[in-house]
Amino acid sequence: MRKNAFSFSKISEGALFVDREREKKIIEDYIFNKQNVIVIAPRKMGKTWLLTKVAEEMKNRESVENIWIDVSKTIDAGSFASTIVKEVFNFQKISLGTESVQTILKALPKIIASRINVQMKVGSFSVGLEVKNKEEYGDIVSEALMFLNTLNKKLFIVFDEFQDITNYEPDFTGPIRYAAQHSDNVSYVFMGSKQTMMRKIFLNKDSIMFNLGAVITLNRIPEEEIRNLLTRGFALSNVSVSKGVIDKIVEVTDGYPYFTQYFAYQIVQSAAQKNKVTVKDVDAALNAIVGGDSYLFETILSKKSKTLKPILCYIAAHDSSKGIFGANLPFSNNTINYALKVLEEEEILIKEGKQYFIANPFFKVFLKEKCE
């Protein structure tokens, strides 16, 4: 079997990585100085990958530890609260067997009073919260987070897919905001891919979390770096590429890291026994991908109203929404504006600066063919 250097579904050590040096440095400086950071980017833009690198580097270089909470992996308020308690306990290596009960009672009275249910296993333990009154979840989270601040350790806490917190009852944003604002030893990093929701949470003046930290947006990766990544990846996979191959990949995937890796991975696979890839192979791989996803794309398109379809077609044909308001579309500017927002909320479009782009470059290829 061929070793394929590209990777699209794992955050693995040693995988090909475009060093987002600028963003990384900014985030690391904030964390080092105990500031809170909000990272907003569309799906698959590389948030988790980037913060994983940041976590690694901060640990190795500055001895700053981290706690990672993936909110999307919790299912309800109770599981969120117990995840927080569990991670905090884990971090401090508290297990009820080893720590003096007195110490814990003093530090975490609410958590203990909530009749926490700790099951000891060898080397690990699980936490279940038995809370009669759901309203107490907020207090428990608050207590666990504020406890971290008392440890006097260099530390940051990452909330991945933070926007999912808005699904939970009771509302956790108050306690988390309090902890983030009052923890002078712990920096909070909030990440999320549902951009409109993240903006509502952190950038809306009426939101309780408004101005809680510095906002960083991750955009697509500059062409030069994508070219380097492709060149390295093909070489590491022992595949030589003929002229035009890299140009074509860059043209299709347009700086999106995930889609670049995915496309290149499929191209390497299609090289099969031969060690060379031509533009023809790239076209064949593209057809296979778009063909494979066409059922999904058809479904998306068939659900769209008469207004949305021509708008999508325009953006696909022009590579962005630039000029859409002056184009000859039979809709008012208000209607177009509304449609763009709806499509962004559905994550079919992403917004960079003032323009909207198709979030999935293979969907764009599909649309280009379909709209002709």
Ligand X SMILES: Nc1ncnc2c1ncn2[C@@H]1O[C@H](COP(=O)(O)OP(=O)(O)OP(=O)(O)O)[C@@H](O)[C@H]1O
Give the interface with Mg ion as residue ranges (CB under 5 A): 47-48
Which residue blocks in 319-371 are alpha helix, DSSP H?
Answer: 333-345, 361-371
108's tokens: 């975490």
> Count residues contacting ligand X (CB under 6 A)?
21
Determine, following the binding rule CB under 6 A, whether residue 261 of this chain makes contact with ligand X.
yes
Determine, following the binding rule CB under 6 A, whether residue 194 of this chain makes contact with ligand X.
no
Q: Which is nearer to Mg ion, 47 or 154 (CB)?
A: 47
* CB neighbour class for 130 (10 Å; exposed up to 12, middle 13-18, buried from 19): exposed
Q: Among ligand X, Mg ion, none, what does residue 46 contact (CB within 5–8 Å per kind)?
A: ligand X
Cα dihedral across residues 59, 45, 224, 238: positive or negative: positive
124's tokens: 């690990």
Question: Distance between CA atoms of 147 and 143, rounded to whole angstroms?
Answer: 6
Q: Which of 140, 125, 64, 132 is nearest to 94 (CA)?
A: 125
Point out which span in 16-24, 202-210, 295-303, 349-357 binds ligand X (CB under 6 A): 16-24
Q: Among ligand X, Mg ion, none, what does residue 140 contact (CB within 5–8 Å per kind)?
A: none
Determine, following the binding rule CB under 6 A, whether residue 252 of this chain makes contact with ligand X.
no
Determine, following the binding rule CB under 6 A, whether residue 226 of this chain makes contact with ligand X.
no
**Residues 35-64: x/- map of binding to ligand X (CB under 6 A)?**
------x-xxxxxxx---------------
Determine, following the binding rule CB under 6 A, whether residue 68 of this chain makes contact with ligand X.
no
Q: Among Mg ion, ligand X, none, what does residue 102 contact (CB within 5–8 Å per kind)?
A: none
- DSSP type of residue 135: T
- Region class of 277: left (phi > 0), else alpha (psi between -120 and 50), else beta: beta
Q: Which residue in 183, 193, 237, 360 binds ligand X (CB under 6 A)?
A: 193
* In the complex, residue closest to ligand X by CB: 46
Point out which span in 230-238, 243-251, 256-264, 291-299 binds ligand X (CB under 6 A): 256-264
Q: Among ligand X, Mg ion, none, what does residue 284 contact (CB within 5–8 Å per kind)?
A: none
Determine, following the binding rule CB under 6 A, whether residue 216 of this chain makes contact with ligand X.
no
Those residues whose C-beta lies under 8 Å from the C-beta of residue 31, and which sit 6 or more positions away, are: 37, 54, 58, 64, 156, 187, 189
Q: Among ligand X, Mg ion, none, what does residue 156 contact (CB within 5–8 Å per kind)?
A: none
Determine, following the binding rule CB under 6 A, whether residue 18 of this chain makes contact with ligand X.
yes
Q: Which residue in 258, 331, 342, 371 binds ligand X (CB under 6 A)?
A: 258
* In the complex, residue closest to Mg ion by CB: 48
Question: Distance between CA atoms of 327 and 325, rounded to whole angstroms?
Answer: 6
Torsions phi, psi for 189 (to 5 deg): -120, 120
Radius of gyration of the chain (CA): 24
Cβ(54)–Cβ(31) under 8 Å?
A: yes
Q: Which is nearer to ligand X, 41 or 249 (CB)?
A: 41
Those residues whose C-beta lies under 8 Å from the C-beta of residue 25, and which sit 6 or more positions away, are: none
Q: Which residue in 138, 233, 255, 257 binds ligand X (CB under 6 A)?
A: 257
Q: Which is nearer to Mg ion, 48 or 253 (CB)?
A: 48
Q: What is the binding site for ligand X (CB under 6 A)?
A: 7-9, 11, 16-18, 20, 41, 43-49, 193, 229, 257-258, 261
